[in-house]
Amino acid sequence: MKSASQRLVVVSNRLPVALVKDENGWQVKQGSGGLVTAMAPVLKNRGGVWIGWSGAPADADPADGPDADMDRLFDDFTDEAGYELCTVPLTQAEVDGYYFGFSNEIIWPLFHDLQSRCRFHPRYWRSYLDVNFKFAEAVARRSTPDDYIWIQDYHLMHQAFFLKSMGVRRNTGFFLHIPFPPPDIFMKLPWRAKLIQALTEFDLVGFQTVQDRRNFVSSLHRLMPEAKVEGRGAVVTVNMGNRSFRAGAFPISIDFAQFSKMAAQPDVLQKAAELKEALRHRQIILGVDRLDYTKGIPERIRSIQTLLRRYPDLHGKVNFIQIAVPSREEVDEYKELRTEIEQLVGRVNGEFSIPGWVPVHYHYRNLPHDELVGYYAAADVGLVTPLRDGMNLVAKEYCACNNKGDGVLVLSEFAGAAAQLQRHAYLVNPYDMEGIAKALHRALHWEPEERKIHMAKLREQIRRNNIFRWVDSFLRAGIAKSLVDFPEMETVQFDRA
């Protein structure tokens, strides 16, 4: 194991890998999503540890799972990725109660202002606590008092609470990747006091935006009036009488240079050119999302329908491409959402298609990274309209890949990214189909120079505030250190014990 006195230990619901079975047996693949995109470059070759669930239930039939090869697979990944993996085994019942239940049927909709979708089953809460305790035991075993424990997201809000209850002293930071709701919504949670108490046990609690932090502090004041906030700016100190912790806004970002560099590669440029050629060089409006009811995909398709109804001059001159990455396919609600989207696409295409032109192209699949970047590079307009989002990295990825500087970002005002990008993106209300249609029409007719001015400002903002600055700002607030205090090493030896 790396001999440095302090390591970064990242803890999340899922490890940054996916277990996939093909004709050669089980394989470990790099995962997808904002968290993996954000943290993988940070841990690489710095002796870090990532603790999480593998994705395979511990009580599954051995014939159906990779248990026999798990250690070898993860060791191989560790050698290649440059950081260590630590698995927390979960049974199917634990996954059902803690993940599908409490995390995704209560916290996810509640924190996205969609409380009508919540199912407040008490058994979900009990399962959530049990699994959080199991994670805390793993953190205690695989870390030292010198390490910095960085807990990621809403699945694991009780980590500091349980570590302290076990008498384990660790410096802990927590980052919430999704929004924190206003008090009137948060107070609907039956276990609100216990959850807010657990969050106060961290040394640093981080949010995507200043508004999220304010929502948290407002809820804290409702439940714990004795809490006093000191300081101004992005990070404040909360005094609880006999102890204190810090709360701050740390907008997450991307590796701008990596995306921009990939978008300039000849094979990616070729993919973008082939896409433009296949669509006869029409203007392209692009949407990219994980399939989820918070992303506003049905509303977006209806906006395209409104656009084509209001502006017939666009017929045959524009294409909307929606890429939907499969998610929670076993959940009925997501199956219904997929069906709704497919039916909407069919209706719009049925209404407007003419020989040689189908307005909406819908792709329900995971795209290879280079192919996705090719879509970003080819798109004239990035249409990012979640109903509510913690940040939304797609908006930043689109801008980073727009090396020509002639794209337009149409962005939901309810995405966390709007706080940073509002001056040069075209902000819209995702529920306002006519408003989005008007915004798209204007974006499609913007003068080239105007496009370039706004896109240049967007790209510079994202370049300066990249993923490494996000990590630096969190570490500086948490332990008065920066990423350079965890230097890359040419070789890192890992303890296989």
Look at residue 1 and tell me if it is in a domain. no
DSSP string, 300-364: HHHHHHHHHHH-GGGTTTEEEEEEEE---TTSHHHHHHHHHHHHHHHHHHHHH-BTTB-SEEEEE
Say yes or no to pLDDT of 62 above 80: no
Active site residue 380: no
Task: Using a pLDDT cut of 70, give the percent of the chain over it.
Answer: 93
Pair (200, 187) in one structural domain: yes
pLDDT of residue 495: 54
Mean pLDDT, residues 34-52 taken together: 76
Mean pLDDT, residues 425-430 taken together: 98
Pair (237, 309) in one structural domain: no
Structure tokens at 420: 């940073």
d(CA 367, CA 61): 30
Say yes or no to pLDDT of 36 above 80: no
pLDDT in tens, 280-308: 999 999 999 999 999 999 999 999 999 99
Active site residue 76: no
Look at residue 493 and tell me if it is in a domain. no
- Identify the CA nearest to 344 among candidates 320, 379, 366, 365: 320
Across all residues in the chain, what is the average pLDDT? 91
Pair (232, 292) in one structural domain: no
pLDDT in tens, 320-362: 999 999 988 888 899 999 999 999 999 999 999 999 999 999 9
Tell me if the pTM is above 0.85: yes
Residues 359/363/369/370 CA torsion (nearest 10 deg): -40
**Please, how many CA atoms are within 13 Å of residue 49, restricted to the half-sphere of its CB?**
26
User: How many structural domains comprise the chain?
Assistant: 2
**Residues with Cβ < 8 Å from 409, sequence gap 6 or more?**
381, 382, 384, 395, 398, 399, 421, 424, 425, 426, 455, 458
Active-site choice (147, 389, 424, 472): 389
d(CA 213, CA 174): 13
Look at residue 180 and tell me if it is in a domain. yes
Lowest mean pLDDT segment, chosen from 49-63, 93-107, 210-224, 464-478: 49-63
d(CA 392, CA 413): 11
Domain that holds residue 97: 8-252+467-485
Say yes or no to pLDDT of 1 above 80: no
Pair (248, 113) in one structural domain: yes
**The amino acid at 56:** A
Asked whether the beta carbons of 399 and 459 are under 8 A apart, the reply is: yes
Active-site choice (112, 177, 424, 454): 177
Instruction: List own/partner pairs for 233-237 with CB under 8 A and 24 or more apart.
Output: 234/210, 234/473, 235/477
Q: How confident is the model at residue 491 (pLDDT cuts 50, 70, 90)?
A: very low
d(CA 288, CA 398): 9
Residue 181: CATH number of its domain: 3.40.50.2000
Torsions phi, psi for 267 (to 5 deg) = -70, -35
pLDDT of residue 492: 46
Pair (53, 182) in one structural domain: yes
